[in-house]
Amino acid sequence: MGCCIVCSNNVKKRYDNPPRPESKYCSMKCKKEDNNTELTCRECTYKYIVRNSRAERSGYCSKVCFDKSQDIYGSDRFEKDGVMWVKARGKTKATRKGKFIQEHRLVASEFIGRDLIPNVEMVLHINGDNLDNHTKNIYVCASRSELQEIIHSSCAPYPYKSNLEQLKKETIDENN
């Protein structure tokens, strides 16, 4: 006779024919409890229980929460391919109201006070984290070749400081 691995109660010996291996649980309740994991929903932060076999694939408590997370046009921001996208809301000239723009480009253009030149000015995340869109983590490259040169010459975190203050000053000087 052994002990239950969940509640430490005695496990009753089985007298089956043919004999089966000894059970690790005293009841079905303990077996279910051991095979489940408690997770937190990514959308609504509700705590829910899921089988261990599904724990890695599960992230949402219900289909409703999953659908909400996938509804990119119903929310103001979403992540795609490791980059955060936000609804522009007419904040820049290049993006009309309701269009989505990469958040790092929006942060840089709003800080500088002008739009970044599409397909010319590129944004580099200094610490290598594409989801960290703080102004101190953004370096605007003048061209795609400059960006590639920086990336190929060193590894993240890159030995650069944010140049947004400098670009902001240049924009102010151009407008005066």
Q: What is the mean pLDDT of the chain?
A: 78
Of residues 34 and 163, which shows the higher confidence score?
163
Q: If phi over 0 gives left and psi between -120 and 50 gives alpha, with beta otherwise, what is residue 44? A: alpha
- pLDDT computed for residue 75 by the predictor: 61
Percent of residues, the chain, with pLDDT higher than 90:
3
**Residues 118-157: tens digit of each pLDDT:** 889 999 998 888 888 888 889 999 888 888 888 888 776 7
Residue 78 has pLDDT above 80, yes or no: no
Q: What is the pTM (predicted TM-score) of this model?
A: 0.52
Q: Tokens in use for 62?
A: 């219900």
Q: Give the pLDDT of residue 72.
A: 47
**Distances from the Cα of 158 to the Cα of 5, 125, 150, 161, angstroms:** 50, 8, 8, 8
What Rg, from alpha-carbon coordinates, does the chain have?
A: 27
Would you kindly state where each structural domain of the chain is located, as residue ranges?
1-34, 36-69, 78-175
Residues in the chain: 176
For residue 20, is pLDDT > 50? yes
* Position 54 pLDDT exceeds 70: yes
- 56-61: long-range contacts at Cβ-Cβ below 8 A with a sequence spacing of 24 or more? none
